[in-house]
Structure 1
Amino acid sequence: MEASSNERNSLGDREITRIRRKSISILAAGQILGGLGSGATLTLGSLLIVDISGLDELAGMAATMNTLGAAFMALPLAVLAQKFGRRISLSTGALIAASGVVIIISSAFLRYWPLLLLGMLVLGTGSAMNLQSRFAATDLSTKATRGRDLSVVVWSTTVGAVIGPNLFEPGEELARFISLPPFTGGFLIAMCAQLIGVFVYWLGLRPDPLQVAQHQAAVKADNTQLRRRGWSILKNTPIARRAVLTVALTHLYMVSLMSMTPIHMQHQGASLTLIGITISIHVAGMYALSPVFGWLTDKAGPRTIIFAGQALLITASVLVWSNGQSHTVTTLALLSLGLGWSAATVAGATMITGAVGIAERPQLQGTSDLCMNLAGVVGGLCAGPILGAVGFQGLAVVLLICAMVMIVVNLKSNSSNIVHG
């Protein structure tokens, strides 16, 4: 049975630390399960929509709808967390994502691709849930551990992201065995992972870390505390504005350059194997060193690590501009791109968490996730036309504008990195 409000208010540091560590372990486990789903389904979504529709030009719509779904669900899940805690919010998100898989498999049976797009939109809830998980890891963190706690949950995504794409063949064997349409077995595995995630969050997040934090701060999630919405917080809190802008532009930068890399390498004669290795190295850069960037954020402050992240993003563009025809240089650029994304997003998310008190964090965090996902959509949609107009090297140079904006915005700040404990 969960602790009462009075008991929570009187919790000592040792008990808070125990709950924090347990919550991070549960969140990491859920993140691995979520990573299995996203890693297996994004590629399969493109293949399935082409198989159903017969139109190659629709291939990118699967990922776009998934990202839009994540953007649309970021704020509703944040409101759920604010009112009822992380346990309800995350388990509900996993359940909705699983229902998206049901829609997708139904679309394959019906051979109706608009239904598939709806399913990918609903499945995007899983991505929104995964993004919220990294913030949930900081609910009971102190200034000294906030970056590390967040980054551990981000790092756990690596496991699912690496294993997920390798479930394609086992998924197809499973689909054939139970007479499912082609390209749906991986989705079935993803649905099972999400359903397991429902129970992991529901049973594991007891007591709920956000509710414990709210009670420790004598905060009640009533209508009074919900009066300042995410957009209002951004309007009135400069540090929150800078942090959200940094996370969004960093994501736009990464998505734009990464999404065009396979096309560029293919035009340069690279094999599919080499393209796959390059993207795998990029993904490793995004997640594998996140605990290091989290530790550095706690030690040096978020703003310092944001600058380091921008330096890595600029390095990626310079490498592409200097010798983008070289497969080796392109791979090094994608590694630098992944590392820069990791540094800037871990530090930016840490700054977001510290920008306001516990009563307003879920709203601000949800708004940040909304902006981040929408920026990814914009980056993915704009990168293609820019590539066609000025080439891959030109795209890399154009993206330097984003880095310059982030550097200037954060240089103008003369306030502390974190304003709330």
Structure 2
Amino acid sequence: MTAQRALVTPDLAASQRRILAVLVAAQILSGAGLAAGITVGALLAQDMLGGTGLAGVPSALFTIGSAAAAVSVGRISQRFGRRPGLALGYGTGALGSVGVVAAAVADNVVLLLISLFVYGAGTATNLQARYAGADLAAPAHRGRAVSTVLVATTVGAVVGPNLVTVMGDFAEGLGIPALAGPFILAAIAYAAAGAVLWVMLRPDPLLLARAAADTADHAAGPDIEPSSARTWNPSVVLGTTVMVVTQLVMVGVMTMTPIHMQHHGHGTGAAGLVIAIHVAAMYLPSPLSGRLADRFGPRVVAAAAAVTMLAAGVTAAAAPVHSVPALAVALALLGLGWNFGLISGTAIITDAVPLATRARTQGTVDLTIAIAGAGGGLSSGVMVAATSYGWLALLGAAISLLIVPALALHARRV
């Protein structure tokens, strides 16, 4: 068995480096598509649907679409591998982006709602890619592997919102409403990301991890303890709870920030800058988060997520309405807290689920996360219409503290 491991391990290490390089390239492209809906989705809906109370509908729709896609991508990946699952997910996201542009041109609200739902597949796939980065990683390096994939999203996700004005001018030149312009970029970005994965993600990380486990006594990544073989064991519940809470709070506050800024005289350029900073904070700190999770354990990073989200909510509530820098700080903290939650939750779940059911379970977990995000997006507009943006931010701060008792309960049970 020792001889087998000596032969297998170098090949796995080389494959992991290649797989991470391909995933990084795809994530850079898909990041631009991901940022389009975040930046102008609520503004486009406000124009077409009318009223702030409905501004959270786009976020809710593409988050619900993300939930449906998460299950589909997970099941396809479980059966056929990561490559077809991820490529199909990005292709579907590109199709939804084209539909949003068509809906804006035709001023067709029904088509807009359907297309936003389909567009959510790109968001789900962008997040599912992090699991592909961890398939071949050793347990001690899983946090860093996940962070490598996530940080690559930063490039496109930061550039995308800053192209809002440029893409708006480009769209108007084609006779398309300006707010639909970023979705043209999203269609191109998602299609390119899917093509990169379909052509270059070879060998398939999940299939190779299974083969290595079968032939080398799980040398590629030790499986979990038999006692935790149940899908919803305490560790999976904890990881899911951490990601659900951070997703709910992040989506709710983020969705209404461009609307809040518009109502106080800020243009789309300023909103795009704040969202770009927010998205950068969601992904750029990933290497740090991954190293912290590997060194101190993901539960410590999960606790940091709760504290950071609390600070974000308080800062957003206290920010002067005309201060772009103050809102940028609040949204940066919001993104950082989400990053801590995603890295730690992903590491906890990957450690707790065997290869035999890994992709399917991960898809189900992401379904739960997406539903939470949909709830945050849908309720955020209603709450701001009934109260204010400040109260929404404070509620988010309070909800983020639910992570603390979840950690305490898990420590008692395990």
**1:151 Cα deviation (Å)?**
0.8
Give the corresponding residue for 2:333.
Answer: 336
Q: Distance in 1 between matches of 2:66 and 2:6?
A: 37
From 115, 118, 121, give the equivalent of 2:117: 121
- Taking only the aligned residue pairs, the percentage that are identical comes to 36
**1:307 Cα deviation (Å)?**
0.8
Q: Does residue 149 of structure 1 match 2:145? A: yes
Task: Kindly provide the CA deviation profile for residues 292-335 of structure 1, in whole angstroms up to 9, marking residues without a partner as x.
Answer: 11111111110011111111112223435666668355443332
Q: Which amino acid aligns with 2:161?
A: P
Range 188-197 or range 121-130, more displaced: 188-197
Q: Does residue 138 of structure 1 match 2:134? A: yes
From 25, 29, 32, give the equivalent of 1:29: 25
From 289, 293, 302, give the equivalent of 1:306: 302
Contact in 2 for aligned 1:40/1:166 (Cα 8 Å): no
**1:91 Cα deviation (Å)?**
1.1
Structure 2 unpaired stretches of 5+: 216-227
- SS of the residue 1:207 aligns to: coil
Range 250-259 or range 350-359, more displaced: 250-259
What TM-score do the two structures reach when normalised by structure 2? 0.85
Give the 3 Å change call, closer, same or farther, for CA 69–140 of structure 1 in structure 2. Answer: same
Q: Which amino acid aligns with 1:290?
A: S
Give the 3 Å change call, closer, same or farther, for CA 277–173 of structure 1 in structure 2. Answer: closer
Give the corresponding residue for 1:159.
Answer: 155
Q: Which amino acid aligns with 1:74?
A: A
What is the correspondence of 1:20-419 to structure 2 with a 5 Å cutoff? 20-46=16-42, 59-172=55-168, 175=171, 183-218=179-214, 236-265=232-261, 274-320=270-316, 327=323, 329-388=326-385, 391-414=388-411
What TM-score do the two structures reach when normalised by structure 1? 0.83
**1:288 Cα deviation (Å)?**
1.4
**1:394 Cα deviation (Å)?**
3.5
Q: Which amino acid aligns with 1:357?
A: P
Contact in 1 for aligned 2:43/2:259 (Cα 8 Å): no
Give the 3 Å change call, closer, same or farther, for CA 180–334 of structure 1 in structure 2. Answer: closer
Q: Which amino acid aligns with 1:114?
A: V
Q: Distance in 2 between matches of 1:179 and 1:157?
A: 30
Q: Which amino acid aligns with 2:200?
A: G
Q: Distance in 2 between matches of 1:135 and 1:292?
A: 18
Q: Which amino acid aligns with 1:135?
A: Y
Structure 1 unpaired stretches of 5+: 1-7, 220-231
Q: Higher RCO, 1 or 2 (CA under 8 Å, sep at least 6)?
A: 2
> Larger % of helix: which?
2
Contact in 1 for aligned 2:167/2:178 (Cα 8 Å): no
Q: Distance in 2 between matches of 1:108 and 1:214?
A: 45
**1:152 Cα deviation (Å)?**
1.3
**1:44 Cα deviation (Å)?**
4.7
- SS of the residue 1:124 aligns to: helix
Range 82-91 or range 318-327, more displaced: 318-327
Task: Kindly provide the CA deviation profile for residues 5-36 of structure 1, in whole angstroms up to 9, marking residues without a partner as x.
Answer: xxx99952111011111111111111111112
**1:271 Cα deviation (Å)?**
6.5
Q: Distance in 1 between matches of 2:316 and 2:335?
A: 14
Give the 3 Å change call, closer, same or farther, for CA 245–280 of structure 1 in structure 2. Answer: same
Q: Which amino acid aligns with 2:132?
A: A
Give the corresponding residue for 2:218.
Answer: none
Q: Distance in 2 between matches of 1:88 and 1:379?
A: 30
- SS of the residue 1:347 aligns to: helix
Range 234-243 or range 165-174, more displaced: 165-174
Range 18-27 or range 259-268, more displaced: 259-268
Q: Which amino acid aligns with 1:85?
A: G
- SS of the residue 1:12 aligns to: helix
**1:109 Cα deviation (Å)?**
4.9
Give the 3 Å change call, closer, same or farther, for CA 13–89 of structure 1 in structure 2. Answer: same
Q: Distance in 1 between matches of 2:355 and 2:345?
A: 17
Q: Distance in 2 between matches of 1:414 and 1:181?
A: 53
Q: Distance in 2 between matches of 1:66 and 1:258?
A: 14
Q: Distance in 2 between matches of 1:255 and 1:11?
A: 46
Q: Distance in 1 between matches of 2:322 and 2:180?
A: 37
